[in-house]
Amino acid sequence: MARPKRTPRDKSHLTLDDAALAAAIEAAMLDSTAPRFEPGKRRRIARIGYGQQGVVRRRGNTWRVQYRGEPDEHGRRKQHSVRLGFIDDMNLEQARAVAVRVLESNAPARIAPGTSCLWEDWVDRFVALYLPMLRRSSQESAGSIIRVHLRKEFAGRLLHDVTPGRVQTLLAKWKLQGVAASTIRARYSVLCRLLGQAAFLGLSAHVPDAKQVRLPRSDAVDLRRRNRAFSTDELDKILEAAEEPWLTLFKIMGFAGLRIGEALGLRWNDINLDTGRMRIVRQAVAGRETALKTDSSMADRAIPPALLEHLRGFRAQHGGAAEGFLFPSPVKAGPRHASGVRKRHLAPLLKRLGVTGRSSHAFRHWLGVTAAREGTPIPALQQVLRHRDRRSTEIYTTLSTADADAALARATSRYVRGARKVLSAPEKRNDDETEDSE
């Protein structure tokens, strides 16, 4: 009985205007999923390319892979069997890995017509259709990585030729060029996003996984100070040396625990100077208003009394419309650019005061660390800092260098007191032994 032909799935939800990519999705929508590997059943290796798979079997004391070759003139596919190795030399998983290489060389993968395209064409399609779907901050970073690094690395190749092996070679190349491990991970994340979206649309793209690609790890010794919070003395010096409007900005970040983007995104109608309440509903990214980092970041908070009095004086001195920003851009309508504030105002101030290894987030960290030292419970601190994950809040409970030194001194003093008793005990035992001997 003839097997019924498979029909393509409905793709009416796709709105691609490129005929070539639309045809690629049409062909890739065919249901050609390989069966899962389950213990006790036939040991099937992973699918290689389009519809190509084999079976790893044990024959005597050897492992063999069986697969069918290309159809002949009569449409028949001859079965082949290749020895992989001896059972004493490899286990099943190793035999399956060898079988994948054997099939790649003996039975090249067949790519269905229309399921691949030039790498540059797919990158342009991704940038035009899918990159704008990301947050604005992610658009800038991902777009820069794609434009500067990823587009040129595989230029001239087809999409299905971007294999995990070539990806691993690219990572090794960046590592030899001296690129930091964290930077390589960021670029690899964007590359996986590109390949993952292509695979989701049914194109012949290889999405690397953790078993296929090894990311570099940094061996450099980081001698920088790990404490990310200002000390109270440092905060006092910063507030004493800062000028307006940066004094108000630094106080809002420190006393209210706002991120710099959230503070720059504040409007005067978000602050009620009569009731002493503050709404946090937006942030400023790259000089533009956008949504907050997470839903839990949105809040309505009481303004600390010291900050409230300062805001009233700042409002009386600088004025501004109710819908206006507290820190408007002097160049165009909208909020200030966070990177400009860091580079032109905060960084020079910290350098002049001799404060190193800190960023604008150190104001927020000061509030979290200070509250944790005062014994604020973790759930309450999580609400104050507006964290979605408790693990983010637990970072602020880490002991500072001074706290660790004090704890070490207390532990050492207990040991010294105990050691004195131990050192004095043998003299007493010797006296007892002398009396017994007499």
Tell me which residue of 39, 48, 61 sits closest to 99, measured CA to CA: 48
Which range is most confident: 3-12, 25-34, 387-396?
A: 387-396
Q: Is the pLDDT of residue 55 over 90?
A: no
Q: How far apart (Å, rounded) are the C-alpha atoms in residues 147 and 161? A: 20
Tell me the per-residue pLDDT of 59-82, one tens digit each, with 9 for 90 and over.
888 988 888 777 777 777 778 888
How much of the chain, in percent, has pLDDT values that exceed 70? 75
Q: Is the pLDDT of residue 48 over 90?
A: no
| Cβ-based neighbours of 49, under 8 Å, separated by 6 or more | 108, 109, 110, 111, 204
Per DSSP, the residues of 174-210 read HHHTT--HHHHHHHHHHHHHHHHHHHHTT-------T
How much of the chain, in percent, has pLDDT values that exceed 90? 18
Mean pLDDT of 10-14: 43
Q: What is the pLDDT of residue 220?
A: 60
Q: Is the pLDDT of residue 148 over 80?
A: yes
Q: Which two tokens stand for residue 123?
A: 């990158």
Kindly report whether the global pTM for this prediction surpasses the value 0.75.
no
Mean pLDDT of 386-415: 74
- Look up residue 132 and give its DSSP letter: G
Q: What is the pLDDT of residue 372?
A: 85
Which range is most confident: 19-28, 162-171, 218-227?
A: 162-171
Instruction: Give the Cβ contact number of residue 98 at 10 Å.
Output: 18
